[in-house]
Amino acid sequence: MGDQAIAGNGRILLKHGAGGRAMRDLIRQIFLSDADAPLSDMIGPGAMDDGAALRLGDQWLVITTDSYVIQPPFFPGGDIGRLAIAGTVNDLAMMGATEPLALTCAVVIEEGFARRDLERIQESMRAACRQAGVAVVTGDTKVMGRGELDGIIINTAGVAFTREVITDRGLKPGDRIVVTGTIGDHGLAVMACRHDLGLDTPLCSDVAPLNSMVRVVLEGADGAVSAMKDPTRGGLASALHEMAEKSGVGIELDQAAIPLRQETLAVSELLGIDPLLAANEGKAVLGVRAEAAAEVVAALRGHPLGMQAAVIGTCVAERPGVIVLDTGFGRRILNEPEGEPLPRIC
């Protein structure tokens, strides 16, 4: 995005929706203000987590929302419908709320969109709901004129109760950083699809609802998980930066330990995109107390969606907010992306 990203001129740029620093700055400047100061008993907008949590008696009601604008709407490994269910279920799960109570679904469709495609998307949403153990309980449908919207946008919001909230800011020096599987698959699969690379083995998105996997971990390891986030737009690099900055810790990563599929690596080299910056839609990053790290990884590996879970780094007190990557040939600072390199990746 280069110059465009620097310019601005009072206009919204693609990077403002790209999940990185530019987006967070925009949200801070426009969408949050003193008027939105968190209520007491609320983990709210100021926290800029994956959702908000409201204290209700001895429980928290967690609420989250996302609009999905992915292009193309059908891609290897999934479609916008599966993404819209998994993405919102995962935002709830990342806050510790692994039993979603209900989802809403609002669809905006371009006039002329094929009815058959809408049916396929809806079937896919149903299947993802079954996998996550949740239902869409209410919805909305709008149609925009031909040329006023490129295809389809789906918004889902979700609510869930949880006794304990996990945030993305709980990392402490000494904590281990765990990822639940291979990195960059969604972003690079969608890019490969867009560029029609004609791969022998098509790279598939990892899009999946993670709540059942997270539940296993949280139930098995009481208090061991200090922070959680799903590395969607902006990828692992963006998620780790946000977690490190909010927690006030540095993170040292061991590049060799980061799980990466050969196909993903191949596409990333073809396209010149760092898989650490590419979106994931079926992975989580966890901060875990050092003494529980092996147990958490074992629990994850026992779940079909976590079989390649691994410890990839350690939190340190030095240089808060900085991510240092040990490449095996030396150490370098992993910069935070201004935003996801791809627009409309989710």
| Region 15-54 residues binding a copy of itself, contact defined as CB under 8 A | 15-18, 23, 26-27, 30-31, 33, 35-36, 39, 42, 44-45, 49, 51-52, 54
Cα gap 84→100, rounded to integer Å? 14
Residues 83-112 that bind a copy of itself (CB under 8 A): 101-102, 104-112
With beta carbons less than 8 A apart as the criterion, state whether 214 and 220 touch: no
Kindly tell me which residue out of 97, 113, 253, 297 binds a copy of itself, with binding defined by CB under 8 A.
113
Kindly tell me which residue out of 11, 163, 222, 223 binds a copy of itself, with binding defined by CB under 8 A.
11
> Considering only 13-21, 186-194, 242-250, 296-304, which stretch makes contact with a copy of itself by CB under 8 A?
13-21
Task: Copy the structure tokens of residue 193.
Answer: 């699809």
Cα gap 207→205, rounded to integer Å? 6
Position 6 contacts a copy of itself (CB under 8 A): no
Position 10 contacts a copy of itself (CB under 8 A): yes
Position 155 contacts a copy of itself (CB under 8 A): yes
Closest CA to 343 of 108, 31, 4, 39: 4
Position 209 contacts a copy of itself (CB under 8 A): no
Mask of contacts with a copy of itself, 156-195, x by CB under 8 A?
A: -x-x------------------------------------
Residues 115-154 that bind a copy of itself (CB under 8 A): 115-116, 118-119, 122, 126, 135-145, 147-150, 153
**DSSP class per residue in 54-100:** EEETTEEEEEEEEEE--SSSEETTEEHHHHHHHHHHHHHHHTT--SE
Task: Provide, rounded to whole angstroms, the least separation between the CB of residue 35 and a copy of itself.
Answer: 5
